[in-house]
Amino acid sequence: MENDPPQNKPYDFIMYPESDAGQYSHRDCTVNFYTRVGALLDPSMTMLNIGAGRGANILEEYSPYRRKVQTFKGRVSKLIGIDVDPVVMENPELDEAYIVAPKDIYPLADNSIDIIVSDHVLEHVEFPLEFATELHRVLKPGGWFCARTPVKWGYIGIGARLVPNSLHVKILKMLQPGRKAEDIFDVFYRINSRSAIRRAFPPSLWKDCTYGFNGVPGYHGNRKALFRLVEFWCWLMPRSLSAKFHIFIQKR
């Protein structure tokens, strides 16, 4: 069909011709987020990846440059991954891996982590205060928590909360062709607004450098009209109602 992209090529590469120069667009959310994470790194650091999964963001990445900015093994002293999904034990990018339940104490010492990355995980956090408390425990003073997550009142957050969790696999199969069912988890959106972030990460304990970001439309079913409609919606909305938060919070 006319609207379908070539096999395995992301649809935004069709919509943004500049993607042929470097394999990413000017609105690439992944490049924006991980470039800022990279700016905080030092080779001596120990990094914790919360929600590391099977490493699909690297193993299945189409763009060599996006794969490069998301790869931290070899760029830090140690890369530790944790996840509720046992598949994290198979992630080839990690130096250490652990399976944890939502309220578990992480198997990590106090003040042992320099930087934490959590990509599209906060929308799945059921217990925000317990989650934030554990981050504060394991991070060193001055350490950073870096997260990318949909905004509760952005178009992704509204859509995800209107659709019951039981139907997410079916709906996402239509809106994101190629999305694997094993990568879809229940969402709660309990830490995805400015007020919720402040409650979990109070200013007395954390310095908050969070900002909103509208990247490439991600839920369009590879249809040009829907892609452009989402683009227009994001253009209309104020930054507080962006599609996603890029959360950068430093432990005081």
Query: In the prediction, which pLDDT does 99 show?
Result: 97
Q: Is residue 144 part of a domain?
A: yes
| Total number of domains in the chain | 1
Q: Is residue 117 part of a domain?
A: yes
Average pLDDT of the segment spanning 30-54: 97
Cα separation of 122 and 113, whole Å?
A: 19
Which contiguous run of DSSP H or E holds residue 172? helix 168-175
CATH code of the domain in which 50 resides: 3.40.50.150
CB atoms within 10 A of CB 16: 16
Q: Is residue 5 part of a domain?
A: no
Number of helical H runs and strand E runs in the chain: 9, 8
Mark residue 231 as left, alpha or beta (left: phi above 0; alpha: psi -120 to 50; beta: remaining): alpha
Asked if residue 6 has pLDDT above 50, the reply is no
Q: Is the pTM of this model over 0.85?
A: yes
Cα separation of 67 and 60, whole Å?
A: 9
Cα separation of 80 and 48, whole Å?
A: 5
Q: Is residue 43 part of a domain?
A: yes
Average pLDDT of the segment spanning 192-214: 96
3-class DSSP assignment, residue 120: coil
Q: Is residue 109 part of a domain?
A: yes
3-class DSSP assignment, residue 183: helix
Asked if residue 1 has pLDDT above 60, the reply is no
Asked if residue 146 has pLDDT above 70, the reply is yes
Cα separation of 183 and 199, whole Å?
A: 28
Task: State the residue range of the domain holding 53.
Answer: 11-251
Contact indicator for 239, 211 with CB cutoff of 8 Å = yes
Q: Is residue 1 part of a domain?
A: no
Query: In the prediction, which pLDDT does 5 show?
Result: 39
**Residue pLDDT, tens place only, 57-116:** 998 888 999 999 999 999 999 999 999 999 999 999 999 999 999 889 999 999 999 999
Cα separation of 145 and 142, whole Å?
A: 10
Q: Which residues lie across from 206 on neighbouring strands?
A: 251
Measured at the alpha carbon of residue 33, what is the angle toward residues 80 and 141, in degrees to the nearest 5? 50
Average pLDDT of the segment spanning 29-51: 97
Cα separation of 102 and 85, whole Å?
A: 11
| DSSP for residue 93 | T
Through-space distance between the first and last CA atoms of the chain, rounded to whole angstroms: 54
Q: Is residue 2 part of a domain?
A: no
